[in-house]
Amino acid sequence: MENNSRRNFIRGAALTGLATFCLPGTKAFAAAPSKKKKLKIKQGLVFLFQGDSITDGNRGRNLDPNHIMGHGYAFSIASHLGANYPKKKPVFYNRGISGNKVNDLAERWQKDTLYLKPDVLSILVGVNDASSIVFHREPVIPIEKYEEVYRNLLEQTKAQFPDIIFVLCEPFILPVGKVKENWDAYKADITKRQEVVKSLALQYNAVFIGLQEVFDKACEKAPADYWIWDGVHPTVAGHELIARKWIKLVSKRISI
């Protein structure tokens, strides 16, 4: 990257409050070493966010641009990147659906993922799968099924778009509400799903967004319910934590 481009990228990160990200050649996150291929920001780069209610964010279901990204981390990421790189005209899609588990993503993968031809695909799914075990909600999605279906989604996508960048977000919880009441069961299950996502990220050359640590550290500054109001769904402040982490790590895999 030439010096002027490097300075412009730093300036763009500073505008989003994320000027501490690592530049190429500096120490990078373990799951995204410097040898990994970087994606050059092109005209109309397509970013797609997939997942459950945390991603959904009560998004609009029509083409109204005021509501189409929802009211969560996907909105924050799109607003930051869209404002910083208007000449590149990046395209952002939110296809999160409240209540979804990994099997639900699989049922709509062709229409809501492959059809949109993403360049960067961000996935956050797992907490509803964990709830299916904790509360015996059918269909129950055990760890093995979660990994099998998740892997199949990545395989399908990679086969069709070999140069895609996957961004795999770690499912997370905090001890609030019903999660706190069933903490041991939730913690035991979600920890295993977190390990699955981290392992898949390594296997598929993905950016791994470790969010449990983000929220655990945030609880040193404010109570858990300040960040995640019911143990599952982030508050406005909690969504901003996700957005900051996402932009910081994904910036290491994208260049201008």
The pLDDT, as a whole number, for residue 100 is 98
The pLDDT, as a whole number, for residue 165 is 96
Architecture of domain 3-255: 3-Layer(aba) Sandwich (3.40)
pLDDT in tens, the chain (256 residues): 334 433 343 334 433 333 333 323 333 333 334 456 677 778 999 999 999 999 999 999 998 888 999 999 999 999 999 999 999 999 999 999 999 999 999 999 999 999 999 999 999 999 999 999 999 999 999 999 999 999 999 999 999 999 999 999 999 999 999 999 999 999 999 999 999 999 999 999 999 999 999 999 999 999 999 999 999 999 999 999 999 999 999 999 987 5
Q: Where are the domains of the chain?
A: 3-255
DSSP string, the chain: --HHHHHHHHHHHHHTT-TTPPPTTS---TTS-TTSPPEEP-TT-EEEEEESHHHHTT--SSS-TTTTT-SSHHHHHHHHHHHH-GGG--EEEE---TT--HHHHHHTHHHHTGGG--SEEEEE--HHHHHHHHTTPSSP--HHHHHHHHHHHHHHHHHH-TT-EEEEEPP---S-HHHHHTHHHHHHHHHHHHHHHHHHHHHTTPEEE-HHHHHHHHTTTS-HHHHBTTSSSB-HHHHHHHHHHHHHHHGGGEE-
The pLDDT, as a whole number, for residue 90 is 94
